[in-house]
Structure 1
Amino acid sequence: MRHKICMVSDFFYPNMGGVESHIYQLSQCLLHRGHKVIIITHAYGERSGIRYLTNMLKVYYIPMGPFYNQCVLPTLFTSLPLIRNILIREGITIVHGHSAFSALAHETMFHAKTMQLKTVFTDHSLFGFADASSLLTNEILKFSLSDANHAICVSHTSKENTVLRASLQPSLVSVIPNAVDSTVFTPDVTVRNPRRIVIVVISRLVYRKGMDLLAGVIPKICQRHSDVDFLIGGDGPKRVDIEEVRETYQLQDRVTMLGSLPHSDVQNVLNQGDIFLNTSLTEAFCIAIVEAACCGLQVISTRVGGVPEVLPDELITLAEPSVKSLLSALERAIEKKRKNTALPPDEMYMRMKDMYRWQDVAVRTEKVYDMIADDLPLDLSDRMWRYRKHGLDFPAFLFMIGVVIEFLYYCLLEYFIPRKDIEMAEDFSRKFHEVKEDSFEEAETSHGYNLRSRKER
């Protein structure tokens, strides 16, 4: 079954991160499997309008700028005319939103249900139940997923968290992990410094990534081990704290700050290190530790969220989210490096290369699409009932009013800008892949042997 999918999130290239990489890699694999995929995100500076990426992956950078933390200002109704136009032009049947933080994802899924399209949501994060930010996000997620056809989480811990936060039935949530391109993340010990032990940290430098813990670990490790250096990639508000530690303890020559890294440079940075350190306070999956293990680094991580599910015990050392526990784990890893008793990088790579593959993620996501393809569309009364079941408190009343207003607005758009007046877009990605297939067939005929089987291998 061929699907026409719209991936939507506030987080996409040129912004860098796990969600951005997930959307791009999944889209490429779905294109390769014959589906139509487009992406909707907000404008990034001068990057606005329609752009084409590898394999004719079409990206709509709609003219809405980020308002806070790379997310657009939630407006609910004002984006409907543009989103409706795009979804009709492209003949979209499934809208797939990513990240609970993304206002654009929630808005587009809301519009899609008004248009009686199928919706899927992937949650990439864990949230608490106490602070104001989490309470607000959880309330939005509860109503946003009330009428979604299915939800996907990246770990079993993340699934439990999402089911509780959004009051979902567990049967409506699937677990599909992240993945890594093992052809890119390969070990290269030739770039390591044999006279130094390098601890690599690649992360957003924010509070939830445990930068306060990192600031406590760095001076103690440097004081106890004169042959250990730190290599830190990433940027964020907590960068100031790390730089203050470096200045206070005069560690400028032992703590290198690389700033924000393009994803293409991550593999080169990882291969310069011997140990990878993750100090997150909350984590649904953590793709960074998988990339580090593929490059043959010893992995040290806090035991939080879905991290214990990601790697087998022999490939990771887990510590409690405290400076004392992280110091103990790091010193064990440093001792293994000195005695050369750590698992060899090549052996780690051989164990990791087929563990998390994007092709497997695409196949499992495709099964979710197939499963919801026959779901009956929800009319206005069905959606009102789904909101009503959460109670008659103020948020429920607000969303029910919003659904009615959105429906009336949508009816006006259907009358004044009818579908028949919207020009359908060319599916260049399908033509591109057909041309590629034809070129392989011609090459097979002219050379007299099966290039397709070699390509598949």
Structure 2
Amino acid sequence: MPYNIAMVSDFFFPQPGGVESHIYQLSTKLIDRGHKVVIITHAYKGRTGVRYLTNGLKVYHVPFLVIYRESTFPTVFSFFPIFRNIILREEIEIVHGHASLSSLCHEAILHARTMGLRTVFTDHSLFGFADAGSILTNKLLKFTLSDVDHVVCVSHTSKENTVLRASLDPLMVSVIPNAVVAESFEPLPANSSNKNVQLDPLQRGRSVPRSRHFGQHDVITIVVISRLFYNKGTDLLIAAIPRILAHDPYVRFIIAGSGPKAIDLEQMLERRVLQDRVELLGPVRHEEVRDVMVRGQIYLHPSLTEAFGTVIVEAASCGLYVVCTRVGGIPEVLPPHMTTFAKPEEDDLVLATQKAISAFRANKVRTEKFHDQVKMMYSWTNVAERTERVYDGITGALSEEEFYGDTSGGGWSATRGRAGVQSFAFIDRLKRYYGCGIWAGKLFCLCAIIDYLLLQFLEMWAPRSNIDIAKNWPKKDRAGAGVQEEIGIDAARPLRHPARHKADRRYQEYST
């Protein structure tokens, strides 16, 4: 059954990153499966208004104030008028929010529930329980997820973390991992180089073929592509690089990425006089990541916390051997023969990297089959199919037994109706919010009441009948004969809401 879906997050292109790539790839695959998907995010450096991307993916860039790491200032209610307008224009049925630190995501889920829409939340991060920032984030997450229909996490470790942080029933949470477009991360062919080519990875555009054996005096290049933030292990990387280079004079580094720790990295290179052995590329676009990766043989990922780590899947797909820290969901991502794990400590990271270099010197690492193996393990089509099943479960297309399995011993709240699917009744919503804490519960109930009153005001001030229905992107018909114009609805699928027909006809008259 096709759905109209709104993906909402502060994090989207043109900013590079795993969450941004996840939203884009999932959205395009859902469109391929017959669904309508729009993305709602904030404006980026003058990119304001409506943009169309590949495959007819529509993006709404809302002009909101950005305060920290591309997150918008939390306003709670000021987003509601424009959000409601978009939802009604696009006839959205499911709102899917992404990322715990996205203000737009939390606000969209609150407003969507007030409007009577089904909601899904995908968590891409891990958080602690002791520091002040994590405590506040976890309380906000508990507020949002108290009234959401289903939660998706990208790893089993992430699921455990989210269940504990938001006090969720584990049956409400599904694990759907990230994936990779394997065709965009292909290794170099075996015949891409010859004996006359100088195999110096520091020369731009030069790469080492995957089939080459490395002697004691051949250069081995270690690639790092990451945001240069504390949680990505940049301090650990800065401490480890001089020791790794001192141990082997035929090792080079290529580092791509930007962030507040970039200045510390540059200062270390100047102080140690390592500029000739470490190449800093700065920020690179996602489509350039493969060209950087194939210049190396080892990918180093020193992250201190990670829910999944899509970049290490991309590195393995490019034929790189991965050295990474054993934190978060990283141990779930790749099989043991593709990785060497280290503790998030300087000594252990240096030791693991030296071990990987020695394995290359002894020709014990064979990466020729990595690409085909990754291609078999991860697919965005599979991610879209599993996400579509979540949508079927929360809308009732799947029965409770089909979606959740045997819930006879369940212990589900009576206010939820079907297992895990929250009731729209306002009193039930207030009961769920009230249980979030002695003081926080009352504050959350107050937010829900104000949101409800604001909706009633918007219904009078800007009636639904005055909002034009947006045209859908033209699609090929099922017979494949040309392209048909869609005015408001897709003629290839049944009309789910008969009341829309009059609005569709009115919009057709207006547009002509």
* TM-score higher than 0.5: yes
**Which range moved further: 335-344 or 322-331?**
335-344
**Alignment map for 1:396-411 (pairs within 5 Å):** 396-411=441-456
Match of 2:388 among 366, 381, 389: 366
Q: Deviations over 1:82-129 (max 9, x none)?
A: 100100110000000000010011011110000010000000000000
Q: Cα RMSD (Å) of the superposition?
A: 1.5
Preserved contact between residue 423 and residue 429 of structure 2 (Cα < 8 Å): no
Match of 2:480 in 1: 437
Aligned to 1:214, what secondary structure does the other structure show?
Answer: helix
Alignment partners' CA distance in 2, 1:292 and 1:120: 30
Counterpart check, 1:197 vs 2:220: yes
**Alignment map for 1:231-270 (pairs within 5 Å):** 231-270=254-293
Match of 2:465 among 403, 420, 423: 420
Give the partner amino acid of 2:428: D
| Percentage of identical aligned residues | 51
Alignment partners' CA distance in 2, 1:202 and 1:396: 42
Q: CA deviation at 1:377?
A: 4.7
Aligned to 1:168, what secondary structure does the other structure show?
Answer: coil
Q: CA deviation at 1:232?
A: 0.4
Q: CA deviation at 1:338?
A: 1.5
**Alignment map for 1:44-443 (pairs within 5 Å):** 44-188=44-188, 190=192, 191-193=206-208, 195-344=218-367, 346-374=368-396, 375=421, 377-391=423-437, 393-428=438-473, 431-434=474-477, 437-439=480-482
Alignment partners' CA distance in 2, 1:341 and 1:330: 14
Alignment partners' CA distance in 2, 1:268 and 1:287: 17
Counterpart check, 1:15 vs 2:15: yes
Preserved contact between residue 434 and residue 444 of structure 2 (Cα < 8 Å): no
Q: Deviations over 1:398-422 (max 9, x none)?
A: 1110110110110011122111111
Alignment partners' CA distance in 1, 2:258 and 2:477: 41
Alignment partners' CA distance in 1, 2:45 and 2:223: 31
Alignment partners' CA distance in 2, 1:157 and 1:437: 44
Whichever of the two has the greater Rg, that structure is 2
Q: CA deviation at 1:433?
A: 4.1
**Which range moved further: 297-306 or 367-376?**
367-376
Q: CA deviation at 1:285?
A: 0.4
Cα 1:433/1:135, change in 2 over 3 Å: farther
Which has more helix, going by share of residues?
A: 1
Aligned to 2:457, what secondary structure does the other structure show?
Answer: helix
Aligned to 2:182, what secondary structure does the other structure show?
Answer: coil
Q: CA deviation at 1:432?
A: 2.8
Q: CA deviation at 1:353?
A: 1.1
Cα 1:67/1:433, change in 2 over 3 Å: farther
The answer for unaligned runs of 5 or more in structure 1 is 441-457
Give the partner amino acid of 1:386: R
Alignment partners' CA distance in 2, 1:138 and 1:376: 20
Match of 1:447 in 2: none
The answer for unaligned runs of 5 or more in structure 2 is 193-205, 209-213, 397-420, 484-512
In the alignment of these two chains, the number of paired residues is 437
Give the partner amino acid of 1:256: E
Alignment partners' CA distance in 2, 1:420 and 1:186: 51
Preserved contact between residue 55 and residue 432 of structure 1 (Cα < 8 Å): no
Preserved contact between residue 116 and residue 379 of structure 1 (Cα < 8 Å): no
Q: CA deviation at 1:192?
A: 2.6
Q: CA deviation at 1:397?
A: 1.1
Q: CA deviation at 1:339?
A: 2.0
Alignment partners' CA distance in 2, 1:337 and 1:437: 51
Q: Deviations over 1:263-308 (max 9, x none)?
A: 0000000000110000011000000110011111110000000011
Cα 1:278/1:433, change in 2 over 3 Å: farther
Match of 1:33 in 2: 33
Normalising by the residue count of structure 2, what TM-score does the alignment of the two structures yield? 0.83
Give the partner amino acid of 2:11: F
Normalising by the residue count of structure 1, what TM-score does the alignment of the two structures yield? 0.93
**Which range moved further: 184-193 or 322-331?**
184-193
Match of 1:443 in 2: none
Q: CA deviation at 1:390?
A: 2.4
Higher RCO (CA < 8 A, seq sep 6+):
1
Alignment partners' CA distance in 2, 1:407 and 1:379: 12
